[in-house]
């Protein structure tokens, strides 16, 4: 009889441990059930979103105020349209806020950083952020550096 009680205790302990691991994995991955926190959506247009992904954080001064909910392509303007879900409690963000795509660390994931303006009106459901700065693509920067370095060295050879 004692062995059956121990088996039950060990089984219960394993189930609780597994549930805790699933909970921690969901929290770390950002897949927690936070959709109910989204209060309103705004959009922004970018020439290049780089590797910005859905559920990427949206920050103001390093504080997460929302997340990316959708990334579309506008075939008329050939721009990426990013839809941002803003959390409840962040409803007084000025309408002239600017958005730029930043990278966390040197080769980290990308996120959207908002810089508030000074307008008296606030962003609201369906607003569009007009001032945007696209992502810096590392490959393009390296290519430009190599191209410029190559053209400078050829000019030096011609002078001699």
pLDDT in tens, 12-35: 999 999 999 998 888 777 665 655
C-alpha to C-alpha distance for 85 and 5, rounded to whole angstroms: 50
Task: Give the pLDDT confidence of 91-103 residue by residue, as tens digits.
Answer: 899 999 999 999 8
C-alpha to C-alpha distance for 103 and 50, rounded to whole angstroms: 10
- Burial label for 50, CB within 10 Å (0-12, 13-18, 19+), is middle
For residue 160, is pLDDT > 50? no
pTM value is 0.69
Q: Kindly give, in sequence order, each residue whose CB lies less than 8 Å from that of residue 34, ignoring residues fewer than 6 positions away.
A: 67
**DSSP letters for 50-89:** TT--TT-EEEETTEEEEEEEEEEEETTTTEEEEEEEEETT
For residue 39, is pLDDT > 70? yes
User: Are 60 and 116 a contacting pair, CB within 8 Å?
Assistant: yes
- Average pLDDT value for the chain: 86
Task: Give the pLDDT confidence of 113-124 residue by residue, as tens digits.
Answer: 999 999 999 999
């Amino acid at each position: 009889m004692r062995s059956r009680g121990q088996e039950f205790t060990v089984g219960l302990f394993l189930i609780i441990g597994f549930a805790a691991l699933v909970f921690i994995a969901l929290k770390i991955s950002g897949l927690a059930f936070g959709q109910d926190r989204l209060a309103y959506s705004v959009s922004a247009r970018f020439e290049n979103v780089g590797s910005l992904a859905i559920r990427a954080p949206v920050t103001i001064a390093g504080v997460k105020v929302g997340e990316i909910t959708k990334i579309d392509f506008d075939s008329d303007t050939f721009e990426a349209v990013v839809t941002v879900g803003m959390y409840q409690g962040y409803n007084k963000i000025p309408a002239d806020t600017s958005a730029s795509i930043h990278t966390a660390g040197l080769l980290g994931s990308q996120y959207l950083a908002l810089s508030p303006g000074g307008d008296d009106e606030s962003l609201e459901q369906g607003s569009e952020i007009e001032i945007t700065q696209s992502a810096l693509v590392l490959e393009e920067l390296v290519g430009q550096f190599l191209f410029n370095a190559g053209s400078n060295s050829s000019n030096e050879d011609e002078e001699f």
